[in-house]
Amino acid sequence: MRRPLQALACLGSLAALSFPVPAMADAATTATTATTAGATGASAEAACRVVAAKPLVDTRGTIRGTATRSGCGDRVRLRVRIAKVTPGPDRVVKSGSRVLANGRIVAGLRCVRTPARYYVLAIEAGGRTSRSGTVTLSCARVTPPPTGGGASTVEQEVVALTNKARAGNGCRPLTHDPKLHLAAGRHSADMATRGFFDHTAPDGSDPGDRIRAAGFAPIRTWGENIAMGQRTAAQVVQGWLDSPGHRANIMNCSFTHIGVGHAAKGPYWTQDFAAH
């Protein structure tokens, strides 16, 4: 009996939709409304947004929380707070602030092995606030980066086949970026270790979170293809090309870099696409 092939496509936060990251808000979980030329009064006020991004654990074992302010014309103090869910009132475990018009601030604290639930608050002096989703974080759950210092032969083959397909569509070849390779490799390894198949990991991190945690910055746009069950590079690339959503990622000429991660158990495959 032939085993069904599984695959998902994710571009940005919605499957089969491209996700350009708004300027000055690459860590935000919500798209920012841009200020239009000549906007004044109420319209300019409505364009100003404050967003708290979900906390995540970066490559240095630090729980990082980000607050972003965008589309604003005035300068105010923006605060970011990382809160821990506890019995009774939740506890703020790390905070920071800075006076700015548009931009982001980050607070971080060293994580511990005991899992705990955290969220981020963004608070500006002008009264706008935002709260991120709550996620469970623990250093014990951080997937180690791929070993060997570079892409495997099968991962390089996926890149070559992807670029061959793009060439037929008039797109320039993608550069296999070490940081995107790290993000993709971690996700494939995480899916294999914890036995799930999704763009969103059990700790709540999404492709954009993983790409940022791997150090790829700035991010103008990103996308992700994942698959499970295909035994060869040729099979997985053909499977993606036969699916409209995945094919759209591969043929998206706005992407300039790629990272491919392969985990033998499953097997699990991840393609991360991005552009600065």
* pTM beyond 0.85: no
Q: How far apart are CA 80 and CA 13, in angstroms?
A: 23
- C-beta of residue 259 within 8 angstroms of C-beta of residue 207: no
Q: Could you read off the pLDDT of 13-61 as tens digits, one per residue?
A: 222 223 444 433 333 322 222 222 333 445 556 688 899 988 888 766 7
Task: Report the 10 Å Cβ neighbour count for 134.
Answer: 16
Angle at 167 between CA 162 and CA 170, to 5 degrees: 130
Q: Which residues pair with 92 in a beta bridge?
A: 83
Q: How far apart are CA 73 and CA 40, in angstroms?
A: 10
- C-beta of residue 60 within 8 angstroms of C-beta of residue 86: no
Q: Could you read off the pLDDT of 246-266 as tens digits, one per residue?
A: 999 999 999 999 999 999 998
What was the pLDDT predicted at 32? Answer: 22
